[in-house]
Amino acid sequence: MQPTPDILAAFEAAKGFMPVDEGLALYAAARDAGRLGLPLLEVGTYCGRSTILLADAAREGGTVAVTVDHHRGSEEQQPGWEYHDPSVVDDDPGVGRMDTLPTFRRTLYKAGLEDHVIAVVGRSPQVAKVWQAQLGLVFIDGGHTDEHAGADYEGWAPHVAPGGLLVIHDVFPDPADGGQAPYRVYLRALASGAFTEVSVTRSLRVLRRTGLGN
């Protein structure tokens, strides 16, 4: 099932990097995982483009989407890097750092989804340490270094409930196509014996927890 035209339009209008086909695959995974009645969590909010899809799926499943981000931008979004966007820099001269939180809040408001999202502002490993609940879905789309992607996997994969889904974005087997940290996390998940691949849509991988381990 696809999102309604209004939700799809809100997704396409939102600031972010996820293409439509990968977004639709994420939405399908979220609808699937929503049947468990457990929260759907993403690591890496940015401005809320993918959050729209998770929130709508959570609404349909009678649960909630949780999104975790420090909102200061990942490595490749800092000044001088390819994905830097000056429009999401705090213009207070005493700050001058990236701050995607206001844009994210506007994104949710315009999509009519504020009531279906819990936004956690903090660094993923710190939040994961205090998180206690099982999750129907974990979507890893935060920092793309080995340090950050690895920490996201280690912190959140153990919380995926049996039958739940682990979704990893920007998985590029060929180094010419992109960074390798998410790909290494993907391989690690498969090698753990805890997850089985469900689908592949370009750089988006969907895995289901079918076993023990992390």
State the residue for tokens 């600031």.
15
Evaluate if residue 214 carries a pLDDT over 80. no
Q: 199, 29 in Cβ contact below 8 A?
A: yes
Q: Residue 135, Cα to own-chain centre: how many angstroms?
A: 13
Mean per-residue pLDDT of the chain: 91
Q: 91, 64 in Cβ contact below 8 A?
A: no
State the residue for tokens 């035209």.
5
Q: What is the pLDDT of residue 80?
A: 56
Evaluate if residue 41 carries a pLDDT over 90. yes
Evaluate if residue 20 carries a pLDDT over 80. yes
Q: What is the pLDDT of residue 38?
A: 98
Report the distance separating Cα 210 and Cα 60, nearest Å.
Answer: 24
Pairwise pLDDT comparison (143 vs 123), residue with the higher score: 123
- Strand pairing partners for 210? none
Report the percentage of the chain scoring pLDDT > 90.
80
Report residue 211's pLDDT band, with 50, 70 and 90 as the boundaries. Answer: confident
Token readout for 147 is 């340090």
Active site residues: 144
Q: Which of 31, 7, 5, 41 is nearest to 110 (CA)?
A: 7
Taking only the tens place, the pLDDT of each residue in 55-78 is 999 999 999 999 999 888 666 555
Altogether, the residues listed in the chain come to a count of: 214
Q: What is the pLDDT of residue 86?
A: 62
Evaluate if residue 90 carries a pLDDT over 60. no
Domains of the chain: 5-209 (3.40.50.150)
Q: 43, 11 in Cβ contact below 8 A?
A: no
Range with the lowest mean pLDDT among 81-85, 133-137, 182-186? 81-85
Taking only the tens place, the pLDDT of each residue in 143-196 is 889 999 999 999 999 999 999 999 999 999 999 998 899 999 999 999 999 999
- pTM flag (> 0.85): yes
Q: What is the pLDDT of residue 163?
A: 98
Classify strands 204-209 and 160-168 as parallel, antiparallel or unpaired: antiparallel
Q: Which of 58, 70, 72, 55 is nearest to 109 (CA)?
A: 55
Report residue 18's pLDDT band, with 50, 70 and 90 as the boundaries. Answer: very high
